Structure 1
Amino acid sequence: MRVLVTGASQGIGAAVAERFAAQGAEVHLVARGAVALAAVVERITARGGRAVAHVADLADERRVLALAEEVGPVDVLVNNAGVGRWLFLDDTAPDELRGMTALPYASYALLTSLLLPAMRERGSGRLVFLNSPASRIAIPGATGYTAARWAVRGLVAALRQDLRGTGVGVTEVVPGAVRSNYFDNNPGSAERIPWVVSRLVPTMTPERVAAEVVKAVARGRSEVVFPWQIKLFDLVGRVIPGAVAYLAWRTGVHR
């Protein structure tokens, strides 16, 4: 099995790549940081796994086109890369807003469109999209980030419709808070998590998320939302969305 994982130099992406490699997959890792990416590849190969690094900025359309050519057909695509500080829309610089749109939404859509034809032709494959609880609970003061994550949710829903009966599966994985460098790299964002989420939802390790991703691919699951607290927010939000929206606003950041 050949697996491509984006955002694989650290955190969830690195853990997912290592988990697939441990199960015998040939993994292709994509990220901007060459040094960190090489370290993950070294860990995998030291354990007898097969891994190839591809240094790429997925916000660069030309580099994404070249990446698809470099990697070739894959059995599983794990769209994981993402950026973005949590800011009010009018506090977000235009360049940063474009970056939030490029990663994750535009990069997920473009890379998927390039690797999908080979999957359709052979009638098998799986597209995996890592998403945020912000795709279920609109976070106040995180406008660009939240909107991009809802866009990914829409992409997933549209692809499920397009790919019915083709043999190509679509999986969305939505974990709660994860221990990673994300909030270190995006200062001020952690303080904007509504306390109803930060106090009630436990923080997980990237390895826990990786285990859920690999299990979801093996079982052909279409959606995995966890832990149960996030799943509960999701379910209640589908029935009485106004209540969840109010709770997020009431316990979130205000101006």
Structure 2
Amino acid sequence: MQVSGKTVLVTGASQGIGAEAAFRFAGRGAHVHLVARSAELLDQQVKRITEFGGSATAHQADLADGDQIRALAEAVPTPDVLVNNAGVGRWLFLDDTEPDELLTMTAVPYLAALLLTREYLAAMRARGSGWIVNVNSPVSRVPIPGCVGYQSARWALRGLTASLRLDLRGTGIGVSEVIPGKVSSEYFVNNPGAEERIPGAARLMIPSVTPDRVAKEIVAAVEKERAEHLFPWQLKAFEISGRLFPNLTGYLAWKTGTHR
């Protein structure tokens, strides 16, 4: 898909991956709708885009709230590209996680992507075109200890992606899943303790990537119409190892991971 002249909606766009993805789509000639909870940070990103000659609009919304998702869909016409990037959640053992926090980390990313995609899907079907990108985490491929709530939501997002891909085959609507390795973004600052729970084997084997690199891969996934993209290559190798040697990979994740 050529993104020039298209409309793109990016969630979680106030900072990190979402902000960089919005900037790159705008740089490719798309009009970008940026969605996040912080109006101030969104305005900063819109200013950044427009100063470089791009076109962008900010929309403040908490995607953990179904009513706000519906209001967003009413305010923003059906985009050509929907990037479900928003995600929250600390990495905790299940019995260390309060029920309200479990509900929040399930609401975003999983329910936010599920409900927002649903809002636009009928119009995309009627139009016969569109592209959906779900940005996921490595823990949706290789489980690690001490991360139950967050990890479960990411596996649910993986299931949503696979299900949509089958449902939408032949409709003109494409679905991409982009799975980067550890990203050097504000996520680990906003969720203290998560970085320390990355298993030692993964820290040694898989280098970090920047939000700008992830944004580049998101845009490329749309333009090249890629169904799935894991990167860097070391993450892909780890994921293949998990499929071919699940017991060994699981043991390494447990042995070098978080224990009580």
Q: TM-score range by the shorter chain?
A: over 0.9
Per the alignment, residue 219 of structure 1 pairs with 224
List aligned pairs for 1:91-130, cutoff 5 A: 91-130=96-135
DSSP-derived class of the 2:205 partner: coil
List aligned pairs for 1:125-144, cutoff 5 A: 125-144=130-149
Q: In 2, Cα distance between the equivalents of 1:118 and 1:227?
A: 35
Per the alignment, residue 156 of structure 1 pairs with 161
The structural deviation recorded for 1:112 is 0.4
Which residues of structure 1 form unaligned runs of 5+? none
The structural deviation recorded for 1:107 is 0.5
- Residue 48 of structure 1 pairs with residue 46 of structure 2: no
- Residue 250 of structure 1 pairs with residue 255 of structure 2: yes
Q: Percent identity?
A: 62
Q: In 2, Cα distance between the equivalents of 1:241 and 1:114?
A: 37
List aligned pairs for 1:164-203, cutoff 5 A: 164-203=169-208
Q: In 1, Cα distance between the equivalents of 2:232 and 2:80?
A: 27
Q: In 2, Cα distance between the equivalents of 1:9 and 1:41?
A: 9
The structural deviation recorded for 1:199 is 1.8
- 1:88 pairs, out of 93, 104, 108, with 93
CA shift digits 1:25-78 (9 cap, x unpaired) = 000000001111100000001111110000000001000000001011110000
**TM-score, normalized by length of structure 2?**
0.97
RMSD: 0.7
The structural deviation recorded for 1:243 is 1.9
List aligned pairs for 1:9-48, cutoff 5 A: 9-48=14-53
The structural deviation recorded for 1:240 is 2.2
Look up the equivalent residue of 2:129 and give its one-letter code: S
**TM-score, normalized by length of structure 1?**
0.99
The structural deviation recorded for 1:122 is 1.3
CA shift digits 1:100-126 (9 cap, x unpaired) = 100100000000000111111111111
Count the aligned residue pairs. 255
DSSP-derived class of the 2:49 partner: helix
Q: In 2, Cα distance between the equivalents of 1:12 and 1:158?
A: 24
The 4+ residue runs of structure 1 with deviation greater than 2 A are: none
Q: In 2, Cα distance between the equivalents of 1:123 and 1:235?
A: 34
Which residues of structure 2 form unaligned runs of 5+? 1-5
